[in-house]
Each structure stands twice: as structure tokens, then as C-alpha cells.
Copies of this chain bind each other. A is one copy, B any other.
């Protein structure tokens, strides 16, 4: 069992001897930013934030913590939506930051592989790839501060999953410091390697509960030569799905993103976000943002967009559509999508559900979940948006106009339960891309209980028998 008393001074001194003064923060002014999650759900405490400069240093720190049964919270960019990277309130947990493990070790443009350390930000990794005419095909809204170690630990998703999969689909190799401090060097750059159990996929998505990812080998893709974006007004999620199948049938390898927005959500963006303008003649019940991209030369993606959209207009699937004619217009269309969360916040209190269902079930899911929420709370405003191309909908709810925020938020569990009941009816997931963290372990027995959760607990016990790695996260 991990210790619940604050670590002894002797341990911190031993750690300081490994990482030096710059590698150890103990003043609460310095550690404050590490103990609170960015959604302000949790206010943890710690006696120290440790910032090793190398994998070897990190390994030695973990070994010292293991010897004294001191629990560790690994932290990257601290962008978790579910409190996955902050310590609890008793002050016994030390924070182990990967921020200084920030070297790009290798980029091979022939193999299309990028070997880099956990503390490199996703943005810096994207930039390094682009400089070699490659693409790191993962994009999330926190990419400026999200670190690769955290991105992999939570199996980040984002906008391009429809084409490139999630973070785990990009991982060829890992370096991991295990709970006893041992370094596992699995940084292989191979496309085929059937030599025993696939350990890397166990650590990806384990949210720091099995070990600390210190470096990785990622697959890259060729940089696109063309990108084309359209915004389309559609009558319903059914119409959006029809449009999706048209693009998939036409040229699936070029569909980079396929995002759904509701008229309600768009109205919030147009009302609250300075400079936001709808580039269509009329408002619509739903909108689709579709982005095509390809490294092929002379693909004329604008023509492809026009061709598919003309057919969809003729079939009545699409009311109206606009194709970005410039980089500025493309950015303006994306902004309408990306400001959905911010606009919702400005409109009032909201309840968020990061759920997924099979892509073909998205329209039925939205219809049934909307009806369930409206039955529960007349006047509630339903704001579904997100990654329709991969079935991941942020099914968010906004307080009824004029209702009190506190009154609304006090009903969050009832509303989330109503949404989740519909998710379950479609064999969906209650946490599509944000993970479990500290917020949702209580849901695991209900959703993943029985054989599945028992297997996870056996694996946890086998790899981290003392339970020192990110305690209280993922598993109940």
C-alpha cells in the first residue's frame, strides 16, 4: 500500500541529489500550477514536483520512491479533462513531471519515424516533422502544451482519427520507466515485429498507472500537398451521415476530418465569439465541416469537394455549402468549430459528455439522447458537436435560458445518466477520448465490470504491485 503521509525530508534530499536543484520544486508558489487541473475540478497537494532531465534520472527517482513506498503522479502538460494528472489532497503523492525530457532523438524521413522524449510538446513534434516534409497526423486543441508522454498515456484522439486513428495507432515503440524504476527500452522502429506480447499498447492509454512513458517512436505520414475545407448546412444528423458516406465512398484516403455541429451550438459561437461569421446564406439545423487533404500531386481537391457536394445538393442531403477559397477562409471555418466550447461557456453553465457510438448510430443516438434530456428538463439546450467521422460526439447540454447555473449543475448526474443510458443502448463508450482519470473510475464497474475490469486489476497488480503509480486513477 502506498504511504499516505507526506514524504520524509530524507527522500527529497536523495531525490535532489539525483536531479539537482533545478529538478526539484518544493515551494508551494512553484508547485501550485502542478497541483490543480485546468478544469479546476481538483485542488491537490504535494510536497514536491520532480523534473528529471534524463530517463536515467527519472528511473533513479522512481527507484527511490519505490523503496520508500511513496506514490507518484506522472504529469505532462497537465491538460487532462478528467483530473488524470494531479495529486490527491493528502499531500503524500509526489509529482513527476516529464517537461525536461524534451529532446527529439531522431527523425527518419525515409522510414517516416520520429523518436522523441516524453516532454516534447505535440506542437513541437508536429513542427519537427513538418521541417522534414513529414506530417505527425495527430491534432488536438491542447497541442501547444500537451506533451507526447501525456498524449500517449491518454491515447489522445482529436480531429483526424477518421483518417489516421488515435495516438495508439501511431506508436511503433516506447521507452518506459516501470514502477520499480527499471527502464524498459522498447524503442524499436519496426513495422513488423512478432516477438511476444505487445507491451507498448498496454502502456498507451494506461494514464500513468502502469509506468511512466519517457520516450516513443511515432509513425509519420507524408505532408499534404493540398488541403480543402467546406462548411455545409444540413437538415439533420441523418443528412450528415449520408454526406459522410458519400465522401468515404468517393475518396476515403483524403477525408482528414468530418465534424458535426448543431444549429444551437453555432448560434452560441456567432453570438459570443468576436469575428465569427457564418459563411452561408441561411442558418441550418446542423452543420458539417469536412476537410480533405492529400500528398498526391495535382489532386485538385477543390474539384473533388465540388463534385461530391453538387451531388449531395442535388440529392437534398445538403442545403447550402461553401468551400474555403483561401487559407484565411479555411481558418475562419475551423474557428467556428473550435470555439464551440468557449462559446458554450460564455452562454452559461454546461454539462459535458465525451461519448462515442458506432458511426452509423450517431443520428439515432443524437435523436434519442436529445429526447431523453428534453424529457428530463424542459427547455434544456442540446449542443451535440464533434467528430462524426469517428463516432465521437461531445453531447453537451446548456442550461435552459433563464435557469440558474447552480440549479442546472446540481442536476448534472441525472442528465449524464440519461445520456449514458442511450450510449449504452448503442454499445457505445462513456469516455471516448478523454479517458478515466480521477473523475470517472467510479463508472468503471458499471461499464467495464466483470471479466474486463478484473483483467485490468490483475494487470495493474502484476506490474505495479505496490500501487504507487498514479493512485486513484483509471481503476476504482
- Chain B residue at smallest Cβ distance from A295: B252
Q: Which residue of B lies closest to A245 (CB)?
A: B110
Say if the beta carbon of A425 comes within 8 Å of chain B.
no
Encode A269-289 as 1/0 by CB contact (under 8 A) with B: 000000000000000000000
The answer to whether B194 touches A359, judged by C-beta atoms less than 8 angstroms apart, is no
Contact between chains at A387 and B155 (CB < 8 Å): no
Check A265 for interface membership: any CB of B closer than 8 A. no
Q: A188-B429, A190-B429, A451-B178 are in contact. Are A360 and B110 (CB under 8 A)?
A: yes
A193-B155 Cα distance, complex, nearest whole Å: 9
For A111, the chain B residues whose CB sits under 8 A away are 358-360, 391
The interface residues of chain B lying within 8 Å CB-to-CB of A168 are 198, 201
- Whether the pair A452, B196 counts as a contact (CB closer than 8 A) is yes
- Stretch among A1-9, A33-41, A179-187, A402-410 lining the B interface: A179-187
CA distance A358 to B251 in the complex (A): 30
Which chain B residue has the least Cβ–Cβ distance from A389?
B191
A residues contacting the other copy or chain, number (CB 8 A): 89
- Across the interface, A191 reaches (CB within 8 A) one of B161, B222, B250, B294, namely B161
**Contact call A194/B360, Cβ cutoff below 8 A:** no
Mask of A100-122 contacts with B, CB within 8 angstroms, 1/0:
00000000101111000000000
A233 within 8 A of B: no
Question: Which single member of B196, B204, B435, B448 contacts A448 (CB below 8 Å)?
Answer: B196
A320 is an interface residue with CB less than 8 A from chain B: no
Q: Mark A419-463, 1 if CB is under 8 A from B, else 0.
A: 000000001111111111000000010011011111110110111
Bound together, the chains give a CA A387 to CA B193 distance in angstroms of 13
Do the beta carbons of B391 and A191 come within 8 Å of each other? yes
Please, which residue of chain B has its CB at the minimum distance from the CB of A359?
B111
| Partner among B191, B359, B462 whose Cβ is within 8 Å of the Cβ of A359 | B191
Measured between C-beta atoms, what is the minimum distance from A149 to chain B in Å?
A: 16
The residues of B that contact A374 with a CB separation of less than 8 Å are: none
- CB of A194 within 8 A of CB of B390, answer no
CB of A135 to closest CB in B, whole Å? 11
What B residues does A245 contact at CB under 8 A? Answer: 110
A189: which of B169, B178, B358, B461 is its contact (CB, 8 Å)? B358
The residue on B at minimum CB distance from A433 is B192
**A18 to B277 CA separation, bound complex (whole angstroms):** 67
CB interface residues, A 289-347, toward B, < 8 Å = 294-297
A190 touches B428 (CB 8 A): yes
Q: Which among B108, B162, B296, B436 is the interface contact of A196 at CB below 8 angstroms?
A: B436
User: Complex Cα distance A183/B456, Å?
Assistant: 15
Question: Which 3 pairs across A and B sit closest by C-beta, in order of nearness?
Answer: A201-B201, A462-B462, A253-B253
